Amino acid sequence: MSVDEWTALEEKVEELIELCSVMSTENRALRTQQQNWTTERAKLIEKNELAKSRVEAMITRLKTLEQV
């Protein structure tokens, strides 16, 4: 290999190292975001279940009042 070919190869390797670093940073950010969405989803599911229970309890109370 000539000096120019080695230089070009070194440059490509440096570009790949930089790209790997950028992608690694982006990957960490995406994993953090995914974890945040998962946590938020779990909270929303819990709130939804609580609201569902409350509505069901109200319906039951209303049915009881209708029978009286």
Tens digit of each residue's pLDDT (9 = 90 or more) over 3-53: 999 999 999 999 999 999 999 999 999 999 999 999 999 999 999 999 999
Closest CA to 51 of 37, 63, 43: 43
The DSSP symbol for 67 reads: H
What pLDDT is stored for residue 9 in this prediction? 97
What pLDDT is stored for residue 67 in this prediction? 87
**Rounded to two decimals, what is the model's pTM?**
0.69
What pLDDT is stored for residue 68 in this prediction? 74
What pLDDT is stored for residue 19 in this prediction? 98
